[in-house]
Structure 1
Amino acid sequence: MANIVMATNTKAMGKLDGSVKRKVYDFLEKVQTDDAAPGLHIEPIKGAADARIRTGRVDLNYRAIMFRIDPEGGDTTYIYMGTWKHDEANALAERSTLRVNPINGTLEGIIGELNGEADRKKRSVVPDPRGEIGKLVTPAEKLPYLMQAGFTLEDLTDRLGLDRALADIALAAADDFAINAIAAEVDGWQGDALLDLACGTGIDEIRKKYSFTDNPVDETLDEDTQILVALDHPASKMQFTYIDDTEELRRVIEGGDFAAWRTFLHPEQRTYAEKDFKGAFRLSGGAGTGKTVVAIHRARNLSKQNPDARIILTTFNKTLAKGLESDLKVLDPALRIAKRPGQPGIYVEGIDKLANDIVSQATDLGPSTEALFGTPVDVTSTRTNKDRVWREVAQSVTSGLEPRLATPGFLDSEYVSVVLANKVKTLEQYAKVARAGRGVRLSRPQRIAVWKLVEAYRRHSRMDTSLSFPEVLALAAEYLQQRQAGGQPFLADHVIVDEAQDLHSTHWALLRALVAEGANDLFIAEDSHQRIYGQPVVLGRLGIKIIGRSRRLTLNYRTTAQNLNFAVSILSSADYHDLEDGEESTLGYRSARLGPKPVLLQCESATDELNKVAEQVRTWLKAGGEPETIAVLTRGQNDRTQFVRALGERGIEARALDENPATTGHVQVLTMHRSKGMEFSRVILAGIDDAHVPSKAAMHSVPEEEKPEAELRERSLLYVAASRARDELVVTWSGKRSGLLG
Structure 2
Amino acid sequence: MPTIIMTKWPVKLDGSVRAKAMSFLQKLSADDTTAGLHVEPINNSVDPRVRTGRVDQFWRAVMFRLEGQGESHYVIHGVWPHDDAIAVASRVRLKVNPINGLPQIEETAVPVEVTPPPVPKQPVEPLLTRLGRTRAELVDRLGVPEDVADLALAAEDDDALLELAQRHNGWLGLLLVDLATPDSIDEIADRLQLQAPKQTGDDDEDLLQSLRRPAARAQFAFIEGQEELRRVIEADDFPAWRIFLHPEQRQYVEKPYGGPFRLSGGAGTGKTVVLVHRARALATQRKDARIVLTTFTTNLADSLRDNLALLDPIVTQSTAIGQPGVYVAGVDALAAAVIRSAGAAIANAVLRVLGDTRSAPTSRTSTTRWREILESSSGSLPPEIANETFLSTEYSLVVLPNRVTNETEYRRVRRPGRGVALDRAKRDAVWALIAAYRAQSRLDGTLDFAEAAAVAAAHLESTGGLADHVLVDEGQDLSPTHWQLLRALVAEGPDDLFIAEDSHQRIYGNRTVLGRYGIRIVGRSRRLTLNYRTTAQNLRYAMAILDGGAYVDLEDEAEGTGYRSARSGPEPIVEDAGSLVAELDAIARHARAWQEQETKPETIAVLVQDKFQRERVVTALNERGVAARAVDREVPGKGRVLVMTMHRAKGMEFSKVVLADVGFQSAAEKSRLGTLDDGERQDAELRARSLVYVAATRARDELAVVRRK
Q: TM-score, normalised by structure 2?
A: 0.96
Flag the 1:148–1:52 CA change in 2: closer, same or farther, 3 A. Answer: same
C-alpha distance in 1 between matches for 2:396 and 2:33: 67
Question: Which residue is equivalent to 1:329?
Answer: 309
Q: CA deviation at 1:645?
A: 0.8
**Is residue 2:157 matched to residue 1:157?**
no
Question: Which residue is equivalent to 2:592?
Answer: 618
Letter of the aligned partner of 1:366 in structure 2? A
Question: Which residue is equivalent to 1:108?
Answer: 104
Q: CA deviation at 1:542?
A: 1.4
State whether residues 9 and 79 of structure 2, in contact with CA within 8 Å, keep that contact through their aligned partners in structure 1.
no
Letter of the aligned partner of 2:61 in structure 1? A
Flag the 1:710–1:328 CA change in 2: closer, same or farther, 3 A. Answer: same
State whether residues 370 and 392 of structure 2, in contact with CA within 8 Å, keep that contact through their aligned partners in structure 1.
yes
Question: Which residue is equivalent to 1:541?
Answer: 516
State whether residues 699 and 711 of structure 1, in contact with CA within 8 Å, keep that contact through their aligned partners in structure 2.
no
The aligned runs of 1:3-22 (5 Å cut-off) are: 3-7=3-7, 9-12=8-11, 14-15=12-13, 17-22=14-19
Tell me, what secondary structure is at the counterpart of 1:726?
strand
Q: CA deviation at 1:694?
A: 11
Flag the 1:307–1:113 CA change in 2: closer, same or farther, 3 A. Answer: farther
**Is residue 2:593 matched to residue 1:597?**
no
Letter of the aligned partner of 1:36 in structure 2? T
Flag the 1:600–1:36 CA change in 2: closer, same or farther, 3 A. Answer: same
**Is residue 2:354 matched to residue 1:373?**
yes
Q: Deviations over 1:27-71 (max 9, x none)?
A: 111111111223221111222211111111222222211111101
Q: Deviations over 1:693-722 (max 9, x none)?
A: 994355245333321111111111111111
C-alpha distance in 2 between matches for 1:129 and 1:358: 68
C-alpha distance in 1 between matches for 2:458 and 2:16: 58
**Is residue 2:703 matched to residue 1:722?**
no
Question: Which residue is equivalent to 1:99?
Answer: 95
Flag the 1:95–1:258 CA change in 2: closer, same or farther, 3 A. Answer: farther
More divergent stretch after superposition (348-357 vs 149-158): 149-158
Question: Which residue is equivalent to 1:585?
Answer: 560
List alignment gaps of at least 5 residues for structure 1: 117-127, 485-489, 736-742
Q: Deviations over 1:437-486 (max 9, x none)?
A: 212221111111111111111112221111111111000000000113xx
Question: Which residue is equivalent to 1:740?
Answer: none
Question: Which residue is equivalent to 1:42?
Answer: 39
Letter of the aligned partner of 1:641 in structure 2? E
Letter of the aligned partner of 2:170 in structure 1? G
The aligned runs of 1:469-480 (5 Å cut-off) are: 469-480=449-460
Flag the 1:167–1:697 CA change in 2: closer, same or farther, 3 A. Answer: farther
Question: Which residue is equivalent to 2:210?
Answer: 230
C-alpha distance in 2 between matches for 1:180 and 1:426: 60
**Is residue 2:680 matched to residue 1:683?**
no
C-alpha distance in 2 between matches for 1:27 and 1:212: 34
**Is residue 2:504 matched to residue 1:529?**
yes
1:294 paired residue among 265, 274, 283 = 274
Letter of the aligned partner of 1:11 in structure 2? P
**Is residue 2:156 matched to residue 1:174?**
yes
Q: Deviations over 1:354-409 (max 9, x none)?
A: 100010010311221121112343334422523x1112222324444333312222
State whether residues 695 and 714 of structure 1, in contact with CA within 8 Å, keep that contact through their aligned partners in structure 2.
no
Q: CA deviation at 1:659?
A: 1.0
Letter of the aligned partner of 2:404 in structure 1? V
Flag the 1:256–1:663 CA change in 2: closer, same or farther, 3 A. Answer: closer
1:505 paired residue among 474, 477, 480 = 480
Question: Which residue is equivalent to 1:120?
Answer: none
2:197 paired residue among 182, 194, 216 = 216
Cα RMSD of the aligned pairs, angstroms, is: 2.1
1:639 paired residue among 613, 624, 649 = 613
State whether residues 53 and 61 of structure 2, in contact with CA within 8 Å, keep that contact through their aligned partners in structure 1.
yes
State whether residues 339 and 362 of structure 2, in contact with CA within 8 Å, keep that contact through their aligned partners in structure 1.
no
**Is residue 2:268 matched to residue 1:271?**
no
Letter of the aligned partner of 1:535 in structure 2? N
C-alpha distance in 1 between matches for 2:111 and 2:270: 32
State whether residues 54 and 68 of structure 1, in contact with CA within 8 Å, keep that contact through their aligned partners in structure 2.
yes
**Is residue 2:84 matched to residue 1:77?**
no
C-alpha distance in 1 between matches for 2:188 and 2:221: 23
2:398 paired residue among 418, 421, 429 = 418
Tell me, what secondary structure is at the counterpart of 1:60?
coil
State whether residues 397 and 456 of structure 1, in contact with CA within 8 Å, keep that contact through their aligned partners in structure 2.
no
State whether residues 635 and 695 of structure 1, in contact with CA within 8 Å, keep that contact through their aligned partners in structure 2.
no
C-alpha distance in 2 between matches for 1:606 and 1:130: 49
State whether residues 93 and 112 of structure 1, in contact with CA within 8 Å, keep that contact through their aligned partners in structure 2.
no
C-alpha distance in 2 between matches for 1:88 and 1:57: 13
**Is residue 2:366 matched to residue 1:385?**
yes
State whether residues 631 and 683 of structure 1, in contact with CA within 8 Å, keep that contact through their aligned partners in structure 2.
yes
Letter of the aligned partner of 1:563 in structure 2? N
C-alpha distance in 1 between matches for 2:21 and 2:531: 32
Tell me, what secondary structure is at the counterpart of 2:264?
strand
Flag the 1:451–1:85 CA change in 2: closer, same or farther, 3 A. Answer: same
Q: CA deviation at 1:499?
A: 0.6
Question: Which residue is equivalent to 2:57?
Answer: 60
**Is residue 2:493 matched to residue 1:518?**
yes
Flag the 1:129–1:210 CA change in 2: closer, same or farther, 3 A. Answer: farther
List alignment gaps of at least 5 residues for structure 2: none
More divergent stretch after superposition (498-507 vs 158-167): 158-167
Letter of the aligned partner of 2:629 in structure 1? R
**Is residue 2:164 matched to residue 1:190?**
no
Flag the 1:422–1:631 CA change in 2: closer, same or farther, 3 A. Answer: same
C-alpha distance in 1 between matches for 2:686 and 2:473: 21
Letter of the aligned partner of 1:579 in structure 2? L
State whether residues 476 and 505 of structure 2, in contact with CA within 8 Å, keep that contact through their aligned partners in structure 1.
yes
Q: What is the total number of aligned residue pairs between the two structures?
A: 708
Flag the 1:693–1:615 CA change in 2: closer, same or farther, 3 A. Answer: farther
Letter of the aligned partner of 2:247 in structure 1? P
C-alpha distance in 1 between matches for 2:557 and 2:578: 43
C-alpha distance in 1 between matches for 2:655 and 2:335: 35
Q: CA deviation at 1:688?
A: 1.9
Flag the 1:467–1:92 CA change in 2: closer, same or farther, 3 A. Answer: same
C-alpha distance in 2 between matches for 1:420 and 1:341: 24
The aligned runs of 1:437-586 (5 Å cut-off) are: 437-484=417-464, 490-586=465-561
**Is residue 2:181 matched to residue 1:207?**
no
Q: TM-score, normalised by structure 1?
A: 0.92
Q: CA deviation at 1:647?
A: 0.6
Letter of the aligned partner of 1:445 in structure 2? A
Tell me, what secondary structure is at the counterpart of 2:363?
strand
The aligned runs of 1:644-723 (5 Å cut-off) are: 644-692=618-666, 695-696=669-670, 699-700=673-674, 702-723=676-697
Q: CA deviation at 1:188?
A: 1.6
C-alpha distance in 1 between matches for 2:166 and 2:50: 29
Flag the 1:450–1:258 CA change in 2: closer, same or farther, 3 A. Answer: closer
Tell me, what secondary structure is at the counterpart of 2:52?
strand
C-alpha distance in 1 between matches for 2:72 and 2:225: 16
